[in-house]
Amino acid sequence: MATKLENTLISKANRHVTINPPKMCQPIGAMYATLGIDKAVPLVQGSQGCCTYVRYQFNRHFKEPVNIAVTSFHEDAAVFGGRRNLIEGIRNLIFRYAPKVIGVVTTCSSETIGDDIEAFIKEAYKKVREELGDEVAQSVFVVPIHTPSYAGTHVKGYDTATISYIKYFAKSKEPNQKLYIIPGMINPGDIEEVKHLLNLMGIEYSVLFDISKTLNSPLMPPKPLYPEGGTPWQELEDCANGKAILALCPHAGGSGASYLESEFGVKSILGPFPVGVENTDKFVKNVALVCGIEIPEEVKVERGLLLDAMADTCQYTMLRRAAVFGDPDIVIAVTRFLCELGMDVKVVETATPSSTFADEIKKIFDEYNIEGEILVDSDLYEFEYLAKEAGVEVILGNSKAVEVAKSVKCPVVRIGFPVYDRVGYFRYGITGYKGSIWLLDLIVNTILDYSYPHDKLHQ
Amino acid sequence: MINFTSKQDEKWCIEMVIKAFLDQRQGHIKQSGIPQCSRPTIPGVMSQRACTYYGARWVLAPVRNSTHIVHAPVDCAYYGQNVRKKNYLILSTDMNEKDVIFGAHEKLERCIEEAAKIFPEHSLIFVYSTCTSSQIGEDIKWVVERVKEKVQKPVIPVEVPGFGGFSQSDGHHIAQRAIISYLSGYCRKESTKPFSVNIIGEYNVAGETLVIKKLLEKIGIKVICSYTGDCDADLMQESVTAALNLLVCKSSGLLLAQFMREKYSIPFVDVSFYGLSNTINSLKKISKFFGIEHKVEMVISEEYEKIKDRLEKYKKKIFSKKAVILLGGSRIGFMAGAFKEAGLEICVCGSQFGCNIDYEAARFELPSALFIDDFNCAEIEEILLRIKPDVFIGGTREWYLAHKFGIPFLVLPQETKPYACFEGFLNMCEDLSKEIHAPVWRLI
């Protein structure tokens, strides 16, 4: 999909330097997953910045306090290794916070010097046993997660965390009838919408790494030490006996699901991320098929409401030029939805390296007869240039899109993580039929606000 | 006490929390005297400190017309793009596994060349190295020397591995040295402009530079360059001709001020524009230096007259409210003074990266407050539960934590209005009273 450019350096493929990268590090993905487990604390084995920067992202996106501990690498640790830091870190963390699960998230520096995390954890257990007794040592699970950020992005980090946790916990026992779900790096609202659909269908399910309550908690003093509502570790143990496991985002969580299938024979379904008509249809059908149930009337009604909303607004969305960037699975799903709305998708980008992304988008483009640019492992500099060139009228992406939109001179519809320049986006899900209606309203209202004369009422 | 989920947990955890407090943190928490500071952080706690790279970005990011290349895996650039709630252009070498194993100096060299081609209008290039590139021994100074000729513009190496210090304040120092190396390499002093100053350690967080500039202009003094709130390569060139330097933040400006005193014989004075008495004292100091005392008295009374009535109204609303302030380094000193002036009663004062001088300044203002160095989440929770302050003043990371306890929070750096000088003080009192008296706190 090469374009003819005057300056060859605009294309990311022709240069070494990355300009305004929209991708984050592996540790943040691993922490995202860890925060969805009940009474779990991520322990970052690295410099303080690796924790501080990530906490900023969480704080500003979710407007919540986030418990993330760090082993505080100083120069000595960087030279002699982080053994003392990790052992003392685990001991101090148990002292102060009495967590059930500690996810040891490694960073670039710790991986570069080759810290033997597994051995350190064993030593830490020994120390805890000596100081605090057997009972305490046995009540804590310390899970190593290897996430050097020079070997992938936040999406890979989440994926690594899911497989690390499932490998650590999953145990074969009595089979149960549950459907397990790995949501991926999506918002609390998105998970709520998925749960809403599953509740309508009346099936037994459990969401692993469920941040829907831990990162959207009520103000009810006194504040509990840990927010209520994460996935209990027992569920992670039990997922080996479930009926099926569904990874909503194959890039983020797919390996965990595949591992469960190959190791325990739990049927795994990868994707699609349920946004828009076709993807949600697929999701509902998959669930109904696995659980052997009929699709209930209520779900059909919700589908009808989405179609109604699409019919009512197609005059505003038809052939409107759009550009999307973000995490691969979310972008694939949103692109399909935009095509369903009749929009002309001009540029699609993910900064995460992916072998399937380009093919998936190509498939959608062919289906809807669209010719757009597909960028994989690219940056916002190229995205901005192509969006400007194509004269897009709306950009969908996270808060990093704001600067791009200023130069392209078009509005932004905020999706994905992180959104820190507006409030509330984590509350409203874009998944399921209901969530898609909300996303549709958001897109149309943004277009109306920006592109239509103020002296006209659009009723 | 902290609310634990089960009775059994509660018993041993309370003991442990207290024990952990005493064992390792005793010297850092002091009711009288100066707490131990500039010490390594204890592993495993939720410290509010950040890394050296963070500190360097804090200082260097606002320099206009400059290219910033981060030689590291991509995340450092991603996070470093956003400084003080603003987005800045940032470039990265995006190191991958291969680069970590075989080294990436060639890649860095190409990146610098490409950056020079893509942004020809920028007159300065900063190259940062962080944890990974430092650990594998990337010699960015050598690369910079090699590439300087080719790109035909100044290239400044900034070596800021995140582990290279105990907190962001070490990054502030390294960033200052980067500015110093630019000044000493490229700026020569030929003349001195009368009645001109530079402001050092002022970052224009909410448009404060403009407010200070306006006030100084009133007494007839021109601000050339504000490091780094209003700063670019040309202004830096011009800044060496100033007659005086005003040092606002010691942590992020002292080195630079000292350097300019020695190299360009520009003297500096400590000033602060937070709080009325601080502002007035600073104005007096400056006017004494330039010999224009007569003008200042007039300006002071004129400015005070403007805000007097409204200020009294807000001060009444916040009078003798209990406050906890947890801020960065040198802010604790002069901010404590400003908050005291506003009428707050400050019970706890802490900093992530304060040094002895900062704590001494703060202790002078607050003789009996509890001082905490390198505070962490567990301690903040304890404090909120035990002291139950009427307002908490701190940064973004403590913001939502305080809210969960039902305690009003004033976040610094502030959202929209400047807090500096006379009108800034009014803004500050207004914001404080707004936060404290928001109905939500009564509805909980």
What gap in Å lies between CA B114 and CA B163, rounded to an integer? 29
Give residue A183's pLDDT band: very low, low, confident or very high (50, 70, 90). very high
Residues of chain A in contact with residue B78, where contact means CB-CB under 8 angstroms, are 21-25
| Predicted confidence (pLDDT) per residue in B356-399, tens digit | 989 999 999 999 888 889 988 888 888 888 888 999 999 888 99
Q: CB B407: neighbour CB atoms within 10 A?
A: 21
Q: Is B366 helix (H, G, I), strand (E, B) or coil?
A: coil
Q: Are A36 and B134 in contact (CB under 8 A)?
A: no
Please give the average per-residue pLDDT across B396-408, as a whole number.
Answer: 92
Interface A-B: count of C-beta contacts within 8 A: 248
Whether B405 and A400 lie within 8 Å, measured CB to CB: no
Nearest by CB: B163 against A43, A53, A73: A73
Distance (Å, rounded) from C-alpha B248 to C-alpha B396?
22
B25 to chain A nearest CA, in Å?
A: 12
Distance CA B1, CA A223 (A): 11
**pLDDT beyond 90 at B24:** no
| SS3 state at B101 | helix
- Maximal CA-CA distance, chain B: 74
Residues A115 and A383: their CA atoms lie apart, in Å, by 38
Work out the minimum CA distance from A27 to partner chain B, whole angstroms.
10
* B20·A95 Cβ contact <8 A: yes
Q: What is the CA radius of gyration of chain A?
A: 23
Q: What is d(CA A43, CA A142) in angstroms, rounded to the nearest whole number?
A: 10
Q: Encode chain A in three state secondary structure.
A: CCCCCCCHHHCHHHCCCEECCCCCCHHHHHHHHHCCECCEEEEEECCHHHHHHHHHHHHHHHCCCCCCEECCCCHHHHHHCCHHHHHHHHHHHHHHHCCCEEEEEECHHHHHCCCCHHHHHHHHHHHHHHHHCHHHHHHCEEEEECCCHHHCCHHHHHHHHHHHHHHHHCCCCCCCCCEEEECCCCCHHHHHHHHHHHHHHCCCEEECCCHHHHCCCCCCCCCECCCCCCECHHHHHHHHHCCEEEECCCCCCHHHHHHHHHHHCCEEEECCCCCHHHHHHHHHHHHHHHHCCCCCHHHHHHHHHHHHHHHHHHHHHCCCEEEEECCHHHHHHHHHHHHHCCCEEEEEEECCCCCCHHHHHHHHHHHHCCCCEEEECCCHHHHHHHHHHHCCCEEEECCCHHHHHHHHCCCEEECCCCCCCCCCCCCCCCCHHHHHHHHHHHHHHHHHHHHCCCCCCCC
Q: Do residue B136 and residue A112 have CB atoms under 8 angstroms apart?
A: yes
Q: Mean pLDDT over all residues of chain A?
A: 94
**Which pLDDT value is given to residue B306?**
94
CB-based contact A18 B135, cutoff 8 Å: no
List the single best residue of A15, A52, A111, A426 to mutate versus B (max B Cβ within 10 A).
Answer: A52
Three-state DSSP state, B350? strand
Min Cα distance A111 → chain B (Å) is: 9
Instruction: Tell me whether residues A92 and B45 touch, CB distance under 8 A.
Output: yes
Read off the pTM. 0.94
Q: Does A403 touch chain B (CB under 8 A)?
A: yes
pLDDT score for A458? 64
Chain-centroid distance, C-alpha A402: 20
Residues 176-205 of A with CB under 8 A from B: none
> Which chain A residues have a beta carbon less than 8 Å from that of B166?
74
Of B43, B90, B400, the CB nearest to A59: B400
The answer to whether B332 and B358 have CB atoms below 8 angstroms apart is: yes
pLDDT at A130: 94
Task: Return the bridge partners of B232, or none.
Answer: B64
A77 near B162, Cβ under 8 Å?
A: no
pLDDT at A236 over 90: yes
In whole angstroms, what is the distance from residue A262 CA to residue A264 CA? 6
- Please report, for residues A1, A151, A264, A395, B412, the alpha-carbon distance to residue A358 in angstroms, rounded to integers and kept in the order given: 10, 20, 32, 19, 43
Q: Within an 8 Å CB–CB cutoff, is residue A223 touching chain B?
A: yes
Nearest alpha carbon to residue A93 among A82, A83, A103: A103
Tell me the average pLDDT across A24-44. 96
pLDDT digits (tens, 9 = 90+) for B117-143: 999 999 999 999 999 999 999 999 999
* Residue to substitute from A15, A47, A60, interface B, most B β-carbons within 10 A: A47
Q: Count other C-beta atoms under 10 Å from residue B349's C-beta.
A: 26
B50/A53 CB distance under 8 A: yes
Task: Tell me how crowded residue A135 is: count the other CB atoms within 10 A of its CB.
Answer: 10
Residue A54 has pLDDT above 90, yes or no: yes
- Residues B63-76: pLDDT tens digits? 999 999 999 999 99
Contact (CB<8Å) B74/A19: no
Contact assignment for A225 to B5 by CB distance below 8 Å: yes
Give the pLDDT mean for A259-264: 96
The Cα of A364 is separated from the nearest Cα of chain B by a number of Å equal to 30
As a whole number, mean pLDDT of residues A244-252 equals 96
In chain B, what residues touch A153 (CB-CB under 8 Å)? 74
Tens digit of each residue's pLDDT (9 = 90 or more) over B156-174:
999 999 999 899 999 999 9
C-beta atoms of A107 and B164 within 8 A: no
How close, in Å, is residue B130 to chain A by CA atoms? 9
Residue A103: which pLDDT band, with cuts at 50, 70 and 90?
Answer: very high
Cα A194 to chain center, whole Å?
Answer: 14
Q: Which of B92, B107, B118 lies closest to A21 in CB terms?
A: B92
Going by their DSSP bridges, the two strands B86-87 and B82-83 should be labelled as antiparallel
In sequence order, what are the beta bridge partners of B155? B125
Token pair listed for A138: 């046995």
A338-384, pLDDT tens digit by residue?
999 999 999 999 999 999 999 999 999 999 999 999 999 999 999 99
Is pLDDT of B18 > 90? no
Interface check A377 vs B, CB under 8 A = no
- Say how far apart CA B316 and CA A25 lie, in whole Å: 48
Residue of chain A minimizing CA distance to B45:
A69
Q: Point out the residue among A51, A96, A112 whose CB comes nearest to the CB of B100.
A: A112
Tell me, yes or no, if A406 comes closer than 8 A to chain B by beta carbon: no
Query: Cβ–Cβ of B405/A222 closer than 8 Å?
Result: yes
Assess whether pLDDT exceeds 90 at residue A53.
yes
| Interface test mutation site (partner A, options B3, B163, B411, B444, max chain A beta carbons within 10 A) | B163
Task: Report whether the peptide linkage leading into residue A3 is cis, meaning its omega lies within 30 degrees of zero.
Answer: no
- The verdict on A6 touching B (C-beta cutoff 8 Å) is no
pLDDT digits (tens, 9 = 90+) for B294-309: 889 999 999 999 999 9
CB pair distance less than 8 Å for B93 and A153: no
Residues A296-328 as b or e (16 or more Cβ within 10 Å = b): eeebeebbeebeebbeebeebbeebbbbbbbbb
Question: Which residues, in sequence order, are bridge partners of residue A87?
Answer: none
- Residue of B46, B70, B109 to mutate for A, most A C-beta atoms under 10 A: B46
Taking an 8 Å cut-off on Cβ atoms, the answer to whether B93 and A96 are in contact is no
Cα–Cα distance, B95 to B107 (Å, whole number): 9
> How high does pLDDT run on average in chain B?
90
Interface of A with B in 22-41 (CB under 8 A): 22-25, 27-28, 39
Is residue A69 pLDDT above 50, yes or no? yes
**Of the candidates B34, B117, B48, which has an alpha carbon nearest to the alpha carbon of residue B376?**
B48
User: pLDDT digit string (tens) for A58-67?
Assistant: 999 999 999 9
Query: Helices A328-340 and A276-291, interaxial angle, to 10°?
Result: 110
Mutate to test the interface with A, among B131, B379, B407, B409 (most CBs of A within 10 A): B131
Exposure string for B236-256, b = 16+ CB within 10 A, e = fewer: bbebbbbbbbbbbbbbbbbbb
Mutation for B interface: A31, A53, A376, most B CBs within 10 A: A53
Binned at pLDDT 50, 70 and 90, residue A1 comes out as very low
Residue-level pLDDT at B68:
97
Does the pLDDT value for residue A3 go beyond 70?
no
Q: How wide is the angle at C-alpha B129 spanned by C-alphas B125 and B133, nearest 5°?
A: 140
pLDDT at A144 over 50: yes
Q: What percent of chain A has pLDDT over 90?
A: 91
- According to DSSP, the β-strands at B91-92 and A18-19 are antiparallel
pLDDT tens digits, one per residue of B173-186: 999 999 999 999 99
Span B322-337, average pLDDT: 89
What pLDDT shows up at residue B250? 87
Vertex B317: Cα angle to B312 and B320 (nearest 5): 100
For residue B25, the model assigns a pLDDT of: 81
pLDDT tens per residue across span B237-292: 999 999 999 999 888 899 999 999 999 999 999 999 999 999 999 999 999 999 99
- Of residues B49, B100, B164, nearest to A52 (C-beta): B49
Q: How far apart are CA A61 and CA A418, in angstroms?
A: 5
pLDDT for B331: 86
Over residues B324-330, the mean pLDDT reads 88
Element (H, E) at B219: none
CB of A86 within 8 Å of a chain B CB? The answer is yes
Q: Best of A39, A83, A223 to disrupt the B interface by mutation (most B CBs within 10 Å)?
A: A223
Instruction: Quickly tell me which residue has 């540790």 as its tokens.
Output: A27
Give the pLDDT mean for A213-225.
Answer: 92
* pLDDT over 50 at B314, yes or no: yes
Query: What is the average pLDDT across A277-300?
Result: 96
Give pLDDT tens digits for A404-452: 999 999 999 999 999 999 999 999 999 999 999 999 999 999 999 998 8
Is the pLDDT reported for residue B19 higher than 80? no
- Give residue B330's pLDDT: 81
Structure tokens at B29: 């928490």
DSSP state of B26: G
Residues in chain B: 444
Q: How confident is the model at residue B20 (pLDDT cuts 50, 70, 90)?
A: low
CA dihedral B128, B130, B132, B135 (to 10 degrees): 100
* B118, B283, B297, B300, B343 from B304: Cα distances, Å: 50, 13, 11, 6, 17
CA distance B128 to B63: 14
Shortest Cα–Cα distance, A78 to chain B (Å): 7
User: Is the CB of A5 inside 8 Å of chain B's CB atoms?
Assistant: no
The string of pLDDT tens digits covering residues A79-92 is 888 999 999 999 99
Interchain proximity A74–B95, CB inside 8 Å: no
Is the four-CA dihedral A34, A35, A37, A41 of positive or negative sign? positive
A231 in contact with chain B, both atoms CB, cutoff 8 A = no
| Sheet with A40-45: strands ordered across | A69-70, A40-45, A101-106, A141-145
Phi, psi of A32 (to 5 degrees): -55, -45
The DSSP letter of residue B45 is: B
Min mean pLDDT across B8-12, B127-131, B202-206 is at B8-12
Q: With contact defined as beta carbons under 8 Å apart, do A323 and A395 qualify?
A: yes
**pLDDT of B31:** 82
Please choose, from the candidates B51, B207, B78, B410, the residue with its C-alpha nearest in 3D space to the C-alpha of residue A399: B78
Distance from CA of A240 to the nearest CA of B (A): 28
